[in-house]
Chain A
Amino acid sequence: MKRDSQTLELCDTFFDSIERCDYEALERCYAREAMIWHSHDNLFQSREDNLAMLKQGMATQQKVRYKDRRIRTFEGGFVQQHTIYVTRENGFVGKMDVCFVAYTRNGKISRAYEYFDTGQIAEFLGPPPDGDR
């Protein structure tokens, strides 16, 4: 069961680090070869590009929270279901239900698959800034 606890800890550390804007901790969660796939484009994003995107989010988003986390571990990885809440600069709080499936190697995330509904993107992003209307 030691592996289960380590996998659960990795999962918690990954999402907690995003909430706390702890970029170094987040970066340590990814293996060197990490690739992140998203359901909206069916493409793998490189470790470098994904980290850059998350770093940008840390710099611009007021608050990010992963709530209603339901985690299950399996041989070689974990799945977490959650609702992400993002507080935008204008105060709008966007939300999205997400399923995150991760495959691990040596205690780090090696591949991840993120499923969500871009049909509900307006509820996640909120109204555009005044200048974009």
Chain B
Amino acid sequence: MTTTELRTMTDGEIRELCNRFFDAYQDKRVDILDEVLADDCIIWHNVFGRETTKADNLSKYHDSYDGQRRRTYDDRTINTFDDGFVIQYSLNGVMTNGHRGSLWICIVARVRDGRITRIDEYMDSSKFAAWAGAPTAATSGGQR
């Protein structure tokens, strides 16, 4: 390996990488996501209990916005360690019908050579319906 390949990223570089990743998600910049994620990046989701690939995630990115006008990744608290970062944040969404929802999420990521190599995502799936504004027994009577 060369010296460059072994270089440890600084705290500032890791923070910048983290913010670049979330800004790209927020701004629908799939081209930047492609740059930020290593080609062999693995994404694990606690709600599914399985790992997915970079290709899986990027191919489904636009579909994940169905029914949503806007998503912002707010209240970012980022802490870094030698080979990665942990970020705690709120995901605020505005649906096409105007409904607003929030999710509180934590991601632990590993990095290498300026790119993200692994993402472990922790969400609470019981909050998804409220986030998306799905009809409930109390709201399904047409008086919204």
Contact = CB atoms under 8 A, between A and B. Distances in A.
A103 to B, nearest CB: 9
Interface string A113-124: 101111111000
B132 interface: no
A32 B10 CA distance: 34
B125 A79 contact: no
Contacts of A117: 46-47, 122-126
Contact of A119 (B47, B84, B86, B88): B47
B120 interface: yes
A97 B124 contact: no
B80 A116 contact: no
Nearest to A121: B126
Nearest to A71: B81
Contacts of B81: 72-74
Chain A binding site: helix, strand, loop or mixed by DSSP?
strand
B86 A74 contact: yes
Interface residues of B, number: 21
A116 B122 contact: yes
Contacts of A77: 79
Contacts of A97: 46, 49, 122
B108 interface: yes
A74 to B, nearest CB: 4
Nearest to B129: A119
Contacts of A76: 79
Interface in A80-113: 81, 97-99, 101, 113
Interface of A: 39-40, 42, 70, 72-77, 79, 81, 97-99, 101, 113, 115-121
27 contacts: A39-B106, A40-B124, A70-B108, A72-B84, A74-B81, A74-B86, A81-B120, A98-B122, A99-B46, A99-B106, A99-B108, A99-B120, A99-B122, A101-B86, A101-B88, A101-B106, A113-B106, A115-B105, A115-B122, A116-B46, A117-B46, A117-B125, A118-B124, A118-B126, A119-B124, A119-B125, A119-B126
